[in-house]
A = this chain, B = another copy of it.
Amino acid sequence: MPKIVDHSERKSHIAEATWRVIMNQGMKGATVRNIAQEAGVSLGALRHYFSTQHELIAFAMNLVKERVDVRINALLTLDLPPKQLITKILMELIPVDDHTMAEMEVWFAFVFHRKYVGDHYDEVDDGVYSAIHMLVGYLHEQGLLRQGLDKDNELERLYALVDGLALHAMLEPERLDKQRILRVVTSHMDSICNE
């Protein structure tokens, strides 16, 4: 009987090896050969799942986003009051522990590689802008967005705040710990929401 292989799990395993290679050696170390070695699979086996390096990198990056989506979907089941729910979702978009910090580092390495090396990965998007678009729309629909605030402007402001905090948490983790980030996000939510 042939061995039963969980293809989805195998692909995730290779994607996670890709993250580790990017964290340790940067994007330029993320060759198919290095990734196969890190994952402990043969080049042939890796090529069975991903025919090109591009396809592998795109998959590994989309998996970062999917992991965040899973955590956000778990929050949505908790039946929290809107303001508290949105604050918790925003905190998922900012690296506040070793695990999310690793995701963010991999993501930023990828984004800057894409920018400076000029590789095209149009199929990859972190989804933060569209997530915040949805959250601000939800606040507005629920009548929670403070009167006089412009929805579109608040979207741009919150998006910049979240990515700015994410960037600083990654580059300056000594100053910007989880408590400090939560305080900033909470005070911002208070400032844009009705009592």
Interface residues of A (CB under 8 A from B): 26, 28, 108-109, 111-112, 115-117, 150, 153, 156-157, 159-165, 167-168, 170-171, 176, 180, 183-184, 187-188, 191
Known: A115-B171, A160-B160, A163-B164. 16 other contacts (CB 8 A): A26-B116, A26-B117, A153-B183, A153-B187, A156-B176, A156-B180, A156-B184, A157-B161, A157-B188, A159-B168, A160-B161, A160-B165, A160-B167, A164-B164, A164-B165, A164-B167
Q: Which residues of B contact A165 (CB under 8 A)?
A: 160, 164
CA distance A165 to B156 in the complex (A): 8
Provide the residues of chain B in CB contact with A159, threshold 8 Å: 164, 168
CB distance from A174 to the nearest CB of B (A): 12
CB distance from A156 to the nearest CB of B (A): 5
**Which residue of B is nearest A172, CB measured?**
B129
Q: CA–CA, A156 to B185, complex, Å?
A: 10
- Tell me whether B163 and A167 are in contact (CB under 8 A): yes
Residue pairs across A and B with Cβ atoms less than 8 A apart, 19 shown, are A26-B116, A112-B112, A153-B183, A153-B187, A156-B180, A156-B183, A157-B187, A159-B168, A160-B167, A160-B168, A160-B184, A161-B161, A161-B164, A162-B164, A163-B167, A163-B168, A164-B165, A164-B167, A191-B191
Residue ID in chain B nearest A187 by CB atoms? B153
